[in-house]
Copies of this chain bind each other. A is one copy, B any other.
Amino acid sequence: MAETSNFLITETVIDIQEVVNKVTDRNAGAINTFIGTVRELTKGKKTLYLKYDAYVPMAEKKLAQIGDEIQKDFPEAKVAITHRIGELAISDIAVVIAVSTPHRADAFTASRYAIERIKEIVPIWKKEHWEDGEEWIGDQLEKVAYPSGKPEEGDLKS
When distances are taken between beta carbons in the complex, the residues of chain B under 8 Å from A25 are 91
A32–B33 touching, CB < 8 Å:
yes
- A25 CB, nearest partner CB in chain B, Å: 7
Stretch at the interface among A34-42, A137-145, A148-156: A34-42
**Chain B residues, CB < 8 A from A24:** 37, 91
Number of interface residues of A (CB under 8 A): 33
How many chain copies does the complex carry? 2
- For the complex, give the distance between the alpha carbons of A104 and B36 in Å: 8
Min CB distance A52 to B, Å, is 14
Q: How far is the CA of A24 from the CA of B111 in the complex (A)?
A: 19
User: Which of chain B's residues have a CB closer than 8 A to the CB of A38?
Assistant: 29
Query: Closest 3 A-B residue pairs measured CB to CB?
Result: A29-B39, A33-B33, A31-B35
A interface list, Cβ under 8 A from B? 15-17, 20, 24-42, 90-91, 100, 102, 104, 107-108, 111-112, 115
